[in-house]
Structure 1
Amino acid sequence: MAGKCNCPCCPRTKEPKAVPLPSVTTLAPADHLWSTGKDKAVNLRMEGSGPGSETPMTIHQMFLETVESYGDHPALASKQEGQWVTVTWRQYYEQCRAAAKSFLKLGLERYHGVGILGFNSPEWFISDIGCIFAGGLATGIYTTNSPEACQYVAANCEASVLVVENHKQLVKILQVKDQLPHLKAIVQYKDELQPKLPNLYTWAEFMKLGEEVPDEQLDAVIGSLRANECCTLIYTSGTTGNPKGVMLSHDNLTWTANAAGVMSQLSHGEEVVVSYLPLSHVAAQVNDMWIGVRFAGTTYFAEPDALKGSLGTTLKEVRPTAFLGVPRVWEKMQEKMKAIGAKASPMRKRVADWAKSIGLQYNYSAMNEEHAVPWGFMLANNLVFKRVRSALGLDRCKACYTGAAPITKDTLEYFMSLNMPLLELYGMSESSGPHTISTSNSYRIMSCGKVMPGCKTKLDNPDQDGNGEICFWGRNVFMGYLNMPDKTEEALDQDGWLHSGDLGRHNQNNFLYITGRIKELIITAGGENIPPVPIEDAVKAETAIISNAMLIGDKLKFLSLLLTLKCVVDDNGEPTDELSPEAVAFCQQHGVTATKVSEILANKEPAIYKAIQEGMERVNAKATSNAQKIQKWVILEQDFSISGGELGPTMKLRRPVVVKMYQEKINKMYGVENQ
């Protein structure tokens, strides 16, 4: 049974204060749909009727509505000394007010940032929302950032306060503190303070700081908040140049949380999610925090080592009603399940294969809205599907989502065969997260769903096959990039449409398919445009030992590939030299005893190199032209990782970074002398 929090900073009995709110239609004066000044309001993309016409509201108004209806319902749950401890919506609200008062006490200025640097936790949420209540700009900073990258974000948002998780993150800030002229205080929310420094506070000290701040002072700030003003900054992890601060308004977040939840058919007071993806990323923030506030859901916080192995245990304990995984999370689950399946008895394997064929048949039928239930489905469900869901902790899960990076057809079909269709979402930081959503009764494999009601999509400059640049319109479209008018003008056209840089097409039923990314398109020396992802996915699907594949060939005479092999990841998320169980099994199937990546590379293991080459030939046989055939490939010494810099925070490939890192190997494949 979850315990109740009794710490001194968690008021338990106080009723929420009646706060003088502006009339719900009061918006700050504005002249434009966009702005690059943090204190400038924007016009909202309101519709005359229907889903885009709802009355705008601030974060505080949305939160207070939930507290009034669900005050005693659990809002947050986190592990303390091995036990789940819950905080109700009323307690959560009071803690956000207490944090807001402490920020005011520390001198948080209006429209200045509060940087939050740490793994997902109640303190993260309370710092974020407390900052917004106090009139600041909530700013997540990636835990993987270097001290210099932390300094850039904190300086760019003029952070008055930085909230850090532990000593490791504190050390980064202390290294750059002298380059942060607006910084007034640092709060560390976990572990003992090692250095006792002025203006450095524990979480308990911080929460007490504002006790003397009168309610009236905070209420005056809350009462001055406007729905069309900025409240949050999301920094895009730029592959080149400095990250851009995406300015999101109260309305961006409150409207999008409602629209996404309604489209996904969420029930008020019934939803349960596990928070583990980086909260500095818009997808996690909207999914874990804002939809939770709008629909009075309960957010359980995973352990900091979630992506290194503990997530499975948390899922089994929590049994969420919806689960969002980036493609790499689903791929890891798939690899693990395949490894377990490989050790099963021949009889069990036959049963599993039979059940999966039934599952795939059933889900394709459901996807095409035919709803034909194949013979044996109930038996397969009882023998296999239900057991798999229970083993994963997803037995209560009504929807399994994937987004933030491309996913392979192989992984999608694998989960469909287990009666767990993965529903793709699509959007970007600049669209406050989701723009198109797949739902359990409306999805197509390899499509990222249909546009949210109240939003619009247009395809700019379509080619003869209907592929054009995907452009967004709706109340989810951001305000602009902080202090970057030139970049804002690149993203938003004169009419206010957001240009995504992604290429896509619609099918006859208005499902959106992403077909490439303009900047990722490889234009060969012969002038042919080639989207790399389908070729990379095909190579990975053909050869089970390959972990990552990256296509090279921009402005070059032919295509080549950088490959990495599947390996074991250590406790810090770093790739090791040990081959993964699936890779070892692949080697054994080909009569090879190697267990390390280095062993395969040292001997250029003929059987493995031959198997990979045969996979390439199968992919090349399906190529639409000679220019799309892979001529050369090389295996790299280690897999891509976030810590290595090749992958972004959501495991998205950072192509320019990889090219730079492996330029020497690329030059060698093309016979170019290294300078």
Structure 2
Amino acid sequence: MSDTQTLIENRPPSVATLFVQRVDATPDAEAYRYPVPGSGQSPDEWKSLSWAQAAERVYAIAAGLAQLGVVSEERVALACSTRVEWILADLGVMCAGAATTTIYPSTNAEESAFILADSESRVLIAEDAAQLAKARERRAELPNLRHVVVVDPAGAEPVEGDPEGWVLSLADLEARGAAHLEKNPGAVKERIAAITAEQLATLIYTSGTTGRPKGVRLPHDNWSYMAKAIAATGLVTGEDVQYLWLPLAHVFGKVLTSGQIEVGHVTAVDGRIDKIIENLPVVQPTYMAAVPRIFEKVYNGVAGKAREGGGAKYKIFQWAAEVAREYAKVSQDNFRRTGRPGAPFALSAKHKVADALVYSKIREAFGGRLRACVSGSAALAPDIGFFFAGAGIHILEGYGLTESSAASFINPGEAYRTGTVGKPLPGTEVRIADDGEILLRGPGIMEGYHQLPEKTAEVLESDGWFHTGDIGELSADGYLRITDRKKDLIKTSGGKYIAPAEVEGQFKAVCPFVSNILVHGADRNFCTALISLDEPTILGWAKEQGITGSYAEVVAAPQTVELIDGYVKRLNEGLQRWQTIKKFRLLPRDLDVEHGELTPSLKLKRPVVEREYRALIDEMYAGSREA
């Protein structure tokens, strides 16, 4: 048996156990960094918690929950943005032997109440008065909810009509727990020792595109396996500094906290997306996980800034971008053949010049120390991946689902291949079904959907194989390429199959102004597209052209339509005839989470967008033979 197999097969029953081991091993090492917002114009102040300090708070939360009557496997919901208290609370829930139900803070009161009721959550840990208000509004529907613990208590005091002790602050909960531990110092350790691998640890509700979300049951063993498997890849070490901003209610964000506990590196945590650019030079991370939309926005921003600098500067950027892509492709191909990266002398010389002019500035914007980024949740356009690879920002694409505890595949360090999601994590099996669907089996796969045995049976076979719903291809040496969601494949009226995500990804690489694009064409005789533009980038271009007005007015201008038409024509040059976009419409605003068009991890909800813009779609097909 290999060392890797031994590491994974001899895993402890829970991350709670791993946490105790980590605290015992490196009590004084830095665990978490977090910002304390400055007042007025003063910058944020970053503070730290050692593993021992984190444990003191985690055990106090666990003991406090026990004092509220929470018992093994009972659900404690977390409705909070990404911040250090989220991690401490989640660990506190797990150390109490209970299970965390995650709720995005952007979720409306109706859906929050559904999740709280369906999960039968006994306690809600709410970020602030706004999250408390959602629970209070629907309290009549939540007979199981005994307490709401508020992280930021300002304005979240109990009101008339609240049951006795229904609202308390996180500080109150920790004080209760600390007092209990003074009298019973071993209380939490006893709870941790009693946790079994099969016990429920996390209930994550999928943000489905239609209907009610399904609760995915992830036992403690899923997270213990993930922690050990991530460590076994060797991609992160105890010397790393991770910048964590992803939503922790999402499985991608959550899995990063498990890996960190096993490896023992520092995590700087701040979920404020508008602070990312400001935080990167301060945190100076060595690795960071993100979703493709972030890399697309950075790429568009760099291209936009170059364009604003004048024609010569923009031409230099375009040249450097092409050099980066060529260098990355050649270098990766060379690594595949010889085991060493590198490129011919002439290309390397051009790359060196482009590095001094363009790439070094991009790396500085990321903090200057970034070894690698992990990208997941959706496909990254290969041309954008190659651009960053050539610029020295190595994006390791990975793949997983909520049902597989997030991380099933990851690109292996230096041997990464842009356009693939890499190889399976140690201990995970994969096979491709006859229809191209990716099937997974291993210790990361869910127990099933909460109280939905029929839905579970649809995707989980009795021998453990899970049907992902994604279509993919495996290379001879085990690299996986995702081509599309099975249910998203378009079949035209002419009988041709099209993977819309592939076409959409190519357009994002061609057009620096795009924010989101949806390709439509199911049962139609040609393809069309709905396109939303990146507001800062297109408004910057409009200013140069002397076009004034709001975003909606700018996208309606004939010059803007003509501009995007040029990029659509360029896209079509590289497509098969049946894939080409014959018509498109620019949307009057960008797609967003608030309107329900994107999931919180910024994935497109196709049915929602198609329903909302049905009139524009019908307009594009009006007058065609099928209309």
Moved more, 212-221 or 486-495: 212-221
Cα offset, 1:497, TM superposition: 0.6
Cα offset, 1:323, TM superposition: 0.8
- 1:530 maps to amino acid: I
* 8 Å CA contact retained: 1:247, 1:478: yes
- 1:662 maps to amino acid: Y
What are the superposed Cα offsets for residues 254-281 of structure 1, whole Å, 9 maximum, x if unpaired? 111221232143223x221122111010
CA distance in 2, matches of 1:339, 1:204: 46
In the TM superposition, 1:143-162 aligns within 5 A as 143-162=105-124
Tell me which of 447, 463, 469 is aligned to 1:479.
447
| Equivalent position of 1:417 in the other structure | 390
CA distance in 2, matches of 1:74, 1:51: 24
What are the superposed Cα offsets for residues 357-408 of structure 1, whole Å, 9 maximum, x if unpaired? 5544443333220522523655654564344312321x22211121101222
- 2:168 maps to amino acid: Y
Say if 2:159 is the partner of 1:204: no
Q: SS of 1:67's equivalent?
A: helix
CA distance in 2, matches of 1:263, 1:532: 32
In the TM superposition, 1:310-389 aligns within 5 A as 310-344=275-309, 356=321, 358-368=323-333, 369=335, 370-373=340-343, 374-375=348-349, 381=355, 384-389=358-363
Structure 1 residues 557 and 592, CA, compared in 2 at 3 Å: closer, same or farther? farther
Structure 1 residues 344 and 615, CA, compared in 2 at 3 Å: closer, same or farther? closer
Cα offset, 1:111, TM superposition: 1.5
Tell me which of 585, 606, 617 is aligned to 2:569.
617
Structure 1 residues 227 and 624, CA, compared in 2 at 3 Å: closer, same or farther? same
Structure 1 residues 83 and 623, CA, compared in 2 at 3 Å: closer, same or farther? closer
Structure 1 residues 265 and 48, CA, compared in 2 at 3 Å: closer, same or farther? closer
* 8 Å CA contact retained: 1:360, 1:419: no
| Equivalent position of 1:390 in the other structure | 364
| Equivalent position of 2:417 in the other structure | 444
| Equivalent position of 1:649 in the other structure | 600
| Equivalent position of 1:130 in the other structure | 92
| Equivalent position of 1:180 in the other structure | 142
CA distance in 2, matches of 1:384, 1:647: 32
| Equivalent position of 1:284 in the other structure | 253
CA distance in 1, matches of 2:546, 2:528: 26
| Equivalent position of 2:33 in the other structure | 77
Tell me which of 628, 638, 644 is aligned to 2:589.
638
What are the superposed Cα offsets for residues 561-617 of structure 1, whole Å, 9 maximum, x if unpaired? 1122221xxxxxxxxxxxx2x31454477x56245333245xx53333334334333
CA distance in 1, matches of 2:35, 2:533: 36
CA distance in 1, matches of 2:485, 2:189: 46
CA distance in 1, matches of 2:242, 2:4: 34
Aligned length: 599
CA distance in 1, matches of 2:597, 2:323: 38
Tell me which of 91, 106, 127 is aligned to 1:165.
127
CA distance in 1, matches of 2:86, 2:552: 41
Q: SS of 2:522's equivalent?
A: coil
CA distance in 2, matches of 1:265, 1:546: 32
CA distance in 2, matches of 1:381, 1:69: 42
Q: SS of 1:519's equivalent?
A: helix
* 8 Å CA contact retained: 1:363, 1:419: no
What are the superposed Cα offsets for residues 270-325 of structure 1, whole Å, 9 maximum, x if unpaired? 221122111010111111x11111111222122x5x22x21111111111111111
- 1:565 maps to amino acid: L
Cα offset, 1:51, TM superposition: 6.2
| Equivalent position of 1:104 in the other structure | 66
Moved more, 510-519 or 374-383: 374-383
* 8 Å CA contact retained: 1:128, 1:139: no
* 8 Å CA contact retained: 1:78, 1:121: yes
Q: SS of 1:375's equivalent?
A: helix
- 1:599 maps to amino acid: E
- 1:392 maps to amino acid: F
Counting helix residues as a fraction of each chain, which structure ranks higher?
2
| Equivalent position of 1:583 in the other structure | 538
Q: SS of 1:99's equivalent?
A: helix
Cα offset, 1:335, TM superposition: 1.9
Cα offset, 1:531, TM superposition: 1.0
CA distance in 1, matches of 2:87, 2:540: 43
* 8 Å CA contact retained: 1:246, 1:478: yes
Tell me which of 16, 37, 48 is aligned to 1:60.
16
| Equivalent position of 2:41 in the other structure | none
Q: Which runs of 5+ in 2 are unaligned?
A: 39-43, 160-164
- 1:254 maps to amino acid: S
* 8 Å CA contact retained: 1:240, 1:656: yes
CA distance in 2, matches of 1:340, 1:606: 23
Moved more, 500-509 or 658-667: 658-667
- 1:200 maps to amino acid: V
- 1:538 maps to amino acid: Q
In the TM superposition, 1:30-41 aligns within 5 A as none
Tell me which of 225, 240, 247 is aligned to 2:210.
240
* 8 Å CA contact retained: 2:303, 2:512: no
Structure 1 residues 611 and 457, CA, compared in 2 at 3 Å: closer, same or farther? same
Task: Provide TM-score, normalisation by structure 2.
Answer: 0.90
In the TM superposition, 1:460-609 aligns within 5 A as 460-462=433-435, 468-567=436-535, 580=536, 582-587=537-542, 593-600=547-554, 604-609=556-561
* 8 Å CA contact retained: 1:327, 1:407: yes
- 1:77 maps to amino acid: R
Structure 1 residues 341 and 417, CA, compared in 2 at 3 Å: closer, same or farther? farther
What are the superposed Cα offsets for residues 98-157 of structure 1, whole Å, 9 maximum, x if unpaired? 111110111113221111111122221121111111121112100110001111111122
Tell me which of 204, 207, 229 is aligned to 2:199.
229
CA distance in 1, matches of 2:514, 2:4: 52
- 2:63 maps to amino acid: K
| Equivalent position of 2:162 in the other structure | none
CA distance in 2, matches of 1:156, 1:109: 18
What are the superposed Cα offsets for residues 204-255 of structure 1, whole Å, 9 maximum, x if unpaired? 1111123236334434322221122221111111111111111112211111
CA distance in 1, matches of 2:202, 2:385: 33
Q: SS of 2:414's equivalent?
A: coil
Structure 1 residues 352 and 621, CA, compared in 2 at 3 Å: closer, same or farther? closer
Structure 1 residues 140 and 656, CA, compared in 2 at 3 Å: closer, same or farther? same
Q: SS of 1:75's equivalent?
A: strand
Cα offset, 1:486, TM superposition: 1.0
CA distance in 2, matches of 1:469, 1:522: 15
Cα offset, 1:671, TM superposition: 3.4
Structure 1 residues 458 and 144, CA, compared in 2 at 3 Å: closer, same or farther? same
- 2:362 maps to amino acid: V
Moved more, 637-646 or 211-220: 211-220
Tell me which of 360, 368, 373 is aligned to 1:400.
373
Task: Provide TM-score, normalisation by structure 1.
Answer: 0.83
Structure 1 residues 68 and 379, CA, compared in 2 at 3 Å: closer, same or farther? farther
